[in-house]
Structure 1
Amino acid sequence: MTIRILLWACLCGLYASNCPAQTTVHSFLETIDVKTGKRTVVYSEPTLFEAPNWSKDGRYLLFNKKGRLYRYWLNDGIVDELPLDSSLSANNDHGFSPDGQLVVISGYRQTTGGGSFLYTTPAEGGPLKPLIRQSPAFWHGWSPDGKTLAFVGLRNGDFDIYTVPADGGTEKRLTHEKGLDDGPDFSPDGKYIYFNSFRSGRMQIWRMDADGQDPQQLTDDHYANWFPHPSPNGKLVVFLSFMEDQQQEHPFGKNVQLRLLDMVTQTVRDLTPVFFGGQGTINVPSWSPDGRHLAFVSYRVQ
């Protein structure tokens, strides 16, 4: 079992022997004003939930909990479940198409033998459309023209970045370096894919052309940096920094920060102070449609 799958299974209670005993996880769904840094807890539960996406109309936040997807409606504070095939157990890699009409989900189904595959479904819920034939695969980005998905796949013992047509089809490998490549997300103009990579010996933020050519390292510091997500205007890139060198892991229950890379000035600044988070905090795109806010999850364990 890979590290990613084991961590997800542990947090979802599937492999209790690998998890701390008698632990209660409190999850806090937060938004943050990117300009002022003001944080607002909009929802919390004494259980584990993860990875919010902001809906394209700005009305709700989508997150996963215990293998299902839920919507938190920002105006009225209501939480409801997205109706999906009961055979699907969704993990924390999901998100919206550029037009907001579809949701892509990485998840496990009893009928596929337990591997994480990619599916799309209408944004209001409904039947699942399978997209790939191999697993495991974990989605992270959708091209702005709506035609291509970027995901991470474990093939031949190594995690690399792949693309596949949004309607399904043959996957294309984009990275070939040894060491983990993860977290691919498209720039708003579709020219680039941002990702995190261990190829330099430390997990850092990189960017490459959308066809996989000309990779360039964008951060070079003592943190372990994961999951870059460009803002709607492409000027900022948010990412998650682990305060300790996690090598090629992104575990739950660590001291982390959200940080911003300014693509105009090529400088990095802290968006938040250090908080308790990690896996589940900001795995997937979570910018508000107007680019003013981000959604993320922080945690407390008792």
Structure 2
Amino acid sequence: MTRNLPSYWHGWSPDGRKFAYCGIRDDLFDIYTIDMEGWEECRLTFGEGRNDGPDYSPDGCWIYFNSSRSGLMQIWRVPAEGGAAERITESAYGDWFPHPSPNGDRIIFLSYDPEVFDHPRDKPVRIRIMDSDGGNAETLVELFGGQGTMNSPNWSPDGSAFAYVRYFPVNTSG
């Protein structure tokens, strides 16, 4: 995809021509796209906090992502061709990995308790849903999970369901 490392794939454009990913360049964690024909990176964020988890809207106009630019990790979006980012969540949680529904009206995302830094595994988390333009989020499920619960696109094509990974603690004490 790119020779610039490290890079972490998260989504692709609806027309299948571009990938969205986050990458670390000069110690900054930012959002990039790359055209599959020209293979040139297009940088969409510029070092304002840590930027991660990009996913395209189904119309290809927006890229949703999570960023710590406001302090706590929150959900943002940026025009897919570049421009100013706008904040979507203003929650008391650390919000990660937004995924727009196939019709574009809602996004689901993972929320950690506010004292949790980063997106570790083996934590209590919530999967929440809200309108794609923002507003109040509803908790769909609380579970034990974290890293890997829903890092990549996960909606069914018809938008009636989505996939996620739930962890089960294992007692290894004998």
What's the TM-score, normalizing by structure 1?
0.54
Corresponding residue of 1:289: 157
Q: Which moved more, 1:261-270 or 1:156-165?
A: 261-270
Q: How big is the alpha-carbon RMSD for the aligned residues of Structure 1 and Structure 2?
A: 1.4
SS of residue in 2 equivalent to 1:185? strand
Look up the match of 1:277: 145
Identity of aligned residues (%): 49
Q: Which sections of structure 1, spanning at least 5 residues, go unmatched?
A: 1-130
Deviation sequence 1:142-201 (CA, Å, 0-9, x none): 111111111000110111001111246111111003321001111011111100000001
In the other structure, the counterpart of 2:15 is 145
1:159 paired to 2:39: no
Give, in whole Å, the separation in 2 of the partners of 1:147 and 1:259.
29
Write the distance in 1 (CA, Å) between the matches of 2:111 and 2:62.
21
Question: Counterpart of 1:175 in structure 2: which amino acid?
Answer: T
Q: Which amino acid aligns with 2:123?
A: K
Partners of 1:285 and 1:177 in 2: how far apart?
24
Counterpart among 112, 135, 138 of residue 5 in structure 2? 135
Secondary structure of 1:146 counterpart: coil
**Residues of 1 paired with 2:133 and 2:79: CA distance?**
18
The residue matched to 1:276 in structure 2 has which SS?
strand
* 1:181 aligned partner: 51
| Residue correspondence of structure 1 range 154-233 to structure 2 within 5 A | 154-167=24-37, 169-233=39-103
1:241-275 deviation digits (Å, cap 9, x = unpaired): 0124333x100011101000123673311111x21
Structure whose residues are more often helix by fraction? 1
Count how many residue pairs are aligned between Structure 1 and Structure 2: 170
> How far, CA to CA, are the matches of 2:133 and 2:116 in structure 1?
29
The residue type paired with residue 145 of structure 1 is D
Written as runs of structure 1 = structure 2, the 5 A alignment for 1:79-94 is none
Higher strand share: 1
Larger radius of gyration: 1
Structure-2 separation of matches of 1:278 and 1:293: 20
- SS at the partner of 1:178? coil
Corresponding residue for residue 125 of structure 2: 256
Alpha-carbon displacement from aligned partner over 1:202-241 (angstroms, at most 9, x marks no partner): 1000011112212110111110000000000001100000
Structure 2: unaligned runs, 5 residues or longer? none
Q: How many angstroms apart in 2 are the aligned matches of 1:297 and 1:168?
A: 35
RCO comparison, higher one (Cα < 8 Å, 6+): 1
Q: Describe the superposition over 1:8-33 as per-residue Cα deviations: whole angstroms up to 9, x where unpaired.
A: xxxxxxxxxxxxxxxxxxxxxxxxxx
